[in-house]
Chain A
Amino acid sequence: MKNMSNEVNTAGQVIYDIEARKSYLQITDEDAKRMMAIKPLAEANVDTILDRLYEHFVSFNSTKAFLQSDKHITNLKSAQRKFFMKIMDGKYDHDFLEGRISVGRTHERIGLEPEWYIGAYSRYINLILPFIVEEMKGKPQAITQHVSSLVKIIFLDMGLAIDTYIEAMKIRENNLKQQFIGNLSQFSGSLSEATNSIVSATSQQSATASEQATSVQEVSATVAEVKQTSIQAVDHASKVISSAEGAVVASKEGTQAVEESIHGMHDIQKQVEAIAEKILGLSEQTQQIGEIIQSVNEIAEQSKLLALNAAIEAARAGEHGKGFSVVASEIRTLADQSKQATNQVRGILGEIQKATNSAVIATEEGGKKVDSGVLLANRAGENIHRLAQAIAESADSGRLISSSSQQQTAGVEQIAVAMQQISQATKDALNAVKKTEEVAHSLRQLSGNIDELIESFSTVKKLEVEWKLA
């Protein structure tokens, strides 16, 4: 059996063996001669045939779609004429083959499927047959021979056209497939690369998210501590304010007490001075008493002397003077007693004078002490005032601290809430990253699948044109 395989050139095109085809279809030189014989007939009726053919094309939407305009139809008709007349040339050689291949490839390119041009061949046969039958009227053998030759040639032509179409289609499909494989391969590469990047990024994100979660926990713990500290600060500040307010009240009372004590001391000083004055007055009166005492003493002395002299006189009077002597003795005793009394009074006056001096000195000392006491009290008052100011300032500071701490607490609480939200977001992000990772792994799998697919596509089968007669 003759080998029907066609060789394929470097462009993937099939090198057709025209002679083998002609042999298979049993096309002989006779057939060529018969075609040349009916060429004038065809020449004469080609316009009619073409008009009918295009009328037929136009009447079908599928074929009409290929016809863009009247001018286009005119051009197509011109081409069809050449094609049709070429069939009638009787030369079925390499040139003929080239022409057929060109037509087949054009059909494939413009998407004119075999369904339609097989129909066109059918129409050609049907349109030309009446002319042949008319031409060879009464010559049934010649009709049969010529129609047979025509059918053979038409089929040769048609087979070539179909094979060319299939070949072109295969080439195009192959090109598309190669292009698809290329694109797919590129896509797969990009996908793989992107997947790797995603996986890497998600790993990094995952690690970062974990770190972030840890950091968030640490920050949350710190925030809790800060909050506690802040609350304690508020507490301490409140205590400071409370004690400072108490101290301010106490210092005001202290200032008042100091003022009162200064007033009191001034009063004491006045009274002490008054006492000193009175004591001095008393002392002066005791001096007067002293003078009186002196007089009394002198009188007593004289009385005593008189009594003594009276006693002398009485003694000299002898018995008669005895009674007088007793009286004199009595008077002398009284004088002695007076003197003793005056001495006692003088002693007492001396004591009074000493006491007065002591009292005056003590008063003076007391006055000085009151002065220094007033000075000290004033100083104490100033100190208390200053202390009160300092305490008031510290109370203000405490209030500021309290206010700030409260704001801080509020801020810290907001931070804590935010941290919880961040923590939640981090968890969500971690989950999302895990999902992304899963997706990325799926993508990687997909990329692998695509690669396998490409691999399977890339095994280009040797393009063969199998001849199957339907």
Chain B
Amino acid sequence: MPASESRFDWDSLKNRLNDISKIGNEERTIEQIRETLVERAERFRREESTVHNETEEMIVFQEGDERYAIPLRMLSEIRPITRMTPLPLVSKNILGVINFRGKIVAMYGLSRDSHKKTTETLKDSHQGDVHHGQKIGSALIGHGIAANLALFADQVIGTLSISAAEIREAPISLGEFDYIRGVGTDGLIFLDLENLVKNKQFYMA
């Protein structure tokens, strides 16, 4: 192998070092800051009509392998949960209860293995394998008639403004499972929390 090929490219390295050393030390001018702000404003600019009439704000979260969306108006608050009290002899959908501002709220899991997963996590927590105060997941606390109910989320992804036209109707074969409003084109499941509270099947599962 010729010596030239094995020779290290120190000049290139020095250039890279020089570039690195500049990061964080750049003096930003007022113009540059203004540009950034304008860029950001452009990014968040919305058509006024879509904001007002046809769209609905949804919160998107993940539980198990699925992603779900619930209208913001159906929730009162999202909280991280570090502890939860499991309940004996209840439906597998009920993972346990939590204390929300002095009120006992039942925690529901949508995924098939939510119960098992949270149980194991809590067991680890009690045994000290998980640090005390470590986040187990998030609780999406309902509003209105669903005020005593919270949905368990592994991860809250964010919010979504979506028009009703973008939600596909749930197939008729789902029958009494009317708490599923429909699905999105990307596999997102749209839930109706009020129907969920009303549905007895859900409690019996």
Bound together: yes
A: which residues have CB within 8 A of B?
301, 304-305, 308-309, 311-312, 314-316, 322, 325-326, 329-330, 332-333, 336
In the bound complex, what is the Cα–Cα distance between A336 and B159 (angstroms)? Answer: 11
Contact A312-B44, Cβ < 8 Å, known A304-B156, A322-B51, A329-B159: no
B59 interface residue (CB < 8 Å to A) = yes
Partner of A308, one of B44, B51, B71, B156: B156
B72 interface residue (CB < 8 Å to A) = yes
What is the distance, in angstroms, from B81's C-beta to the closest C-beta of chain A?
11
User: In which size bucket is the chain B interface?
Assistant: 20 to 34
Question: In the complex, are the beta carbons of B76 and A305 less than 8 A apart?
Answer: no
Shortest Cβ distance from A325 into B: residue: B57
In the bound complex, what is the Cα–Cα distance between A220 and B14 (angstroms)? Answer: 81
Q: Which of B55-96 contact A (CB under 8 A)?
A: 57, 59, 71-73, 75-80
In the bound complex, what is the Cα–Cα distance between A332 and B156 (angstroms)? Answer: 11
B143 interface residue (CB < 8 Å to A) = yes
**Binding site secondary structure of chain A:** helix
Question: In the complex, are the beta carbons of A315 and B44 less than 8 A apart?
Answer: no
In the bound complex, what is the Cα–Cα distance between A354 and B46 (angstroms)? Answer: 44
In the bound complex, what is the Cα–Cα distance between A325 and B72 (angstroms)? Answer: 11
What is the distance, in angstroms, from B154's C-beta to the closest C-beta of chain A?
13
B2 interface residue (CB < 8 Å to A) = no
Question: In the complex, are the beta carbons of B80 and A312 less than 8 A apart?
Answer: no
Contact A308-B80, Cβ < 8 Å, known A316-B143, A326-B44: no
Contact A332-B80, Cβ < 8 Å, known A322-B51, A325-B57: no
In the bound complex, what is the Cα–Cα distance between A304 and B46 (angstroms)? Answer: 21
- Selected A-B contacts with CB under 8 Å, 9 pairs: A304-B156, A305-B138, A308-B156, A309-B77, A315-B72, A325-B57, A326-B46, A329-B44, A333-B44
Q: A304-B156, A312-B75 are in contact. List 11 more A-B contacts (CB 8 A).
A: A301-B80, A308-B78, A308-B159, A309-B78, A311-B57, A312-B59, A312-B72, A312-B77, A315-B57, A326-B44, A329-B159
B158 interface residue (CB < 8 Å to A) = yes
What is the distance, in angstroms, from B133's C-beta to the closest C-beta of chain A?
11
In the complex, the 4 A-B pairs of residues with the closest C-beta atoms, listed nearest first: A315-B72, A308-B78, A315-B73, A312-B75
A305 neighbours in B (Cβ, 8 Å): 78-80, 138, 156
B: which residues have CB within 8 A of A?
44, 46, 51-52, 57, 59, 71-73, 75-80, 138, 143, 156, 158-159
B59 neighbours in A (Cβ, 8 Å): 308, 311-312
Shortest Cβ distance from A318 into B: residue: B73
Number of residue pairs A-B, CB distance < 8 angstroms:
48
Contact A312-B158, Cβ < 8 Å, known A322-B51, A325-B57: no
Contact A336-B158, Cβ < 8 Å, known A311-B72, A329-B44, A330-B44: yes
What is the distance, in angstroms, from A349's C-beta to the closest C-beta of chain B?
14
In the bound complex, what is the Cα–Cα distance between A305 and B78 (angstroms)? Answer: 7
A316 neighbours in B (Cβ, 8 Å): 72-73, 76, 143
What is the distance, in angstroms, from A153's C-beta to the closest C-beta of chain B?
155
Contact A332-B158, Cβ < 8 Å, known A311-B57, A315-B72: yes
What is the distance, in angstroms, from A238's C-beta to the closest C-beta of chain B?
38
Shortest Cβ distance from B77 into A: residue: A309
B57 neighbours in A (Cβ, 8 Å): 311, 315, 325
A304 neighbours in B (Cβ, 8 Å): 156, 158
A322 neighbours in B (Cβ, 8 Å): 51-52
What is the distance, in angstroms, from A273's C-beta to the closest C-beta of chain B?
18
Contact A312-B51, Cβ < 8 Å, known A329-B44, A332-B158: no
Question: In the complex, are the beta carbons of A311 and B73 less than 8 A apart?
Answer: no
In the bound complex, what is the Cα–Cα distance between A325 and B56 (angstroms)? Answer: 12
In the bound complex, what is the Cα–Cα distance between A288 and B76 (angstroms)? Answer: 38
B143 neighbours in A (Cβ, 8 Å): 312, 316
In the bound complex, what is the Cα–Cα distance between A330 and B46 (angstroms)? Answer: 12
Shortest Cβ distance from B135 into A: residue: A301
B52 neighbours in A (Cβ, 8 Å): 322
Question: In the complex, are the beta carbons of B156 and A312 less than 8 A apart?
Answer: no
What is the distance, in angstroms, from B190's C-beta to the closest C-beta of chain A?
16
What is the distance, in angstroms, from A208's C-beta to the closest C-beta of chain B?
78
In the bound complex, what is the Cα–Cα distance between A301 and B79 (angstroms)? Answer: 11
What is the distance, in angstroms, from B194's C-beta to the closest C-beta of chain A?
15
Question: In the complex, are the beta carbons of A332 and B44 less than 8 A apart?
Answer: no
Question: In the complex, are the beta carbons of B159 and A311 less than 8 A apart?
Answer: yes
Question: In the complex, are the beta carbons of B159 and A332 less than 8 A apart?
Answer: yes
What is the distance, in angstroms, from A344's C-beta to the closest C-beta of chain B?
14
What is the distance, in angstroms, from A96's C-beta to the closest C-beta of chain B?
151
What is the distance, in angstroms, from A382's C-beta to the closest C-beta of chain B?
27
A333 neighbours in B (Cβ, 8 Å): 44
What is the distance, in angstroms, from B136's C-beta to the closest C-beta of chain A?
14
What is the distance, in angstroms, from B137's C-beta to the closest C-beta of chain A?
12
Shortest Cβ distance from B80 into A: residue: A305
What is the distance, in angstroms, from B21's C-beta to the closest C-beta of chain A?
14
Shortest Cβ distance from B71 into A: residue: A315
In the bound complex, what is the Cα–Cα distance between A201 and B143 (angstroms)? Answer: 157
In the bound complex, what is the Cα–Cα distance between A309 and B156 (angstroms)? Answer: 11
B77 neighbours in A (Cβ, 8 Å): 309, 312
Shortest Cβ distance from B79 into A: residue: A305
B79 neighbours in A (Cβ, 8 Å): 305
In the bound complex, what is the Cα–Cα distance between A426 and B57 (angstroms)? Answer: 139
What is the distance, in angstroms, from B64's C-beta to the closest C-beta of chain A?
20
In the bound complex, what is the Cα–Cα distance between A292 and B52 (angstroms)? Answer: 41
In the bound complex, what is the Cα–Cα distance between A309 and B72 (angstroms)? Answer: 9
What is the distance, in angstroms, from A295's C-beta to the closest C-beta of chain B?
15
In the bound complex, what is the Cα–Cα distance between A35 and B184 (angstroms)? Answer: 219
In the bound complex, what is the Cα–Cα distance between A38 and B29 (angstroms)? Answer: 207
What is the distance, in angstroms, from B176's C-beta to the closest C-beta of chain A?
28
In the bound complex, what is the Cα–Cα distance between A316 and B59 (angstroms)? Answer: 13
In the bound complex, what is the Cα–Cα distance between A322 and B51 (angstroms)? Answer: 8
What is the distance, in angstroms, from A315's C-beta to the closest C-beta of chain B?
4
B159 neighbours in A (Cβ, 8 Å): 308, 311, 329, 332
Shortest Cβ distance from A302 into B: residue: B80
In the bound complex, what is the Cα–Cα distance between A304 and B59 (angstroms)? Answer: 12
In the bound complex, what is the Cα–Cα distance between A316 and B143 (angstroms)? Answer: 10
In the bound complex, what is the Cα–Cα distance between A332 and B143 (angstroms)? Answer: 21
